[in-house]
Structure 1
């Protein structure tokens, strides 16, 4: 039994068959249209011809062109996808290189920071060492000052002891002389003996006066030396003061208290140091002897730092 196919369906089947044949064998689209007969038959029955369908070459060419455009679009899309992948790969490589440069910069900055921190620590250590050295110098200077103060006090104590001894010897001498005079007066009651005794006493008085004058001069020199030594011990000296001097006038009370100090001339640095030393001391060695005090109450000294 023959099966009859509707013309539209037969036309569609014929068109697809022709397209497949052309794609496979490369048909020439410029040739004349061909007629394709499609026959469908069932088992045991004679073939029944299907309505022949003529394929228009222009329609076929349009279909093929459409397929080629679709293939070209697909190829262009694939090429674009590949270009996009390559661009992303290049960007990723650039990002990797930039990151590597950044990491190198970070490492360099860290090395610089570490070096600066190390230098800062070294500077801090040096400053600490210098501070300790300065503290040690200050400690040594204070110890030297204390030692000089002790030496000054020792000198004053020695001067006081010497003065006390001198007084005791003077008192003993006077007592001895008085005893001799008393004994002479008791033993010699005659006028001549009295005259001779008076002459002797006059001579002794004269000798005592001369001795007293000499002793006072000696005491003045000794206390001048004590005052100069006390000032020199309290001077804050440095090498710029070596072989330089300053003349000052100092006025003292009976206790040795400094009432005024005036610079008469000399090196400015030495003069400034001398004035500071005298003001810092406050009281200088002074003899209790009024005659000695008269010579020392308004004293002019030449101060030359001793090293």
Structure 2
């Protein structure tokens, strides 16, 4: 910028002003010479030979008588012309000076304008440099803030992802807990149902067992009663068989008795007979009667047989 504003010395403002003033002075000098009246030469014919060595003079002017008034008038006109010319020249000089002053003012104004322009340009350059620097700083700050914002956004996204993962994990844990709780509740309900069913089955079995026991007891009592009856009936039949085979002697047996023990097979066969106690004569006759009978009637009912297979009987002959 400094090289653009620097001018050669003959192109500077003061050099231009000097050239203008020098031109004005030269112009005034030339003008005064051009307007100054040339002297009238009157050449006499007698002088022609004296100037032989010089160029030939112009044609001689014939002498004319001049009126004094005309001459004064002519002189006055010339003087007036000179005055007018002088005034015109002075006016011209004033105009030139005015224009020179105007040019100087214009030059000064232009120089001031150029200085202002240069200063404004310098300030503009400084402002532009400051603006560029500020813009660079702002851009750097903006990039830093953008990087910070990106980092913050990435951190926010990471936190959001962590939060979502935590929420999903919490949801999964809650779902798992609920599922486990539901499974436990179902298992508990199933256990309670099974326990209830088991209790019900146990109760039913107990009731069934009680019913079966009652029925069995009833059957047992019935069978026992029946067995008693059967035992009594078969006992009576065995006693009748012994009585039929008994040889009685009224003189030795009246009022006497004998208690025997009989062991019988399932078909009623007598496997053994022994005397428990009693009268000897009656006991001997009773043993012979059992042996003669050999086999007695026997029930097919095992309960009845169990009561008859080892039985004690009392033999008391009647007369």
User: Which TM-score applies when normalising by structure 2?
Assistant: 0.39
Higher helix content, 1 or 2: 2
Q: TM-score normalized by structure 1?
A: 0.40
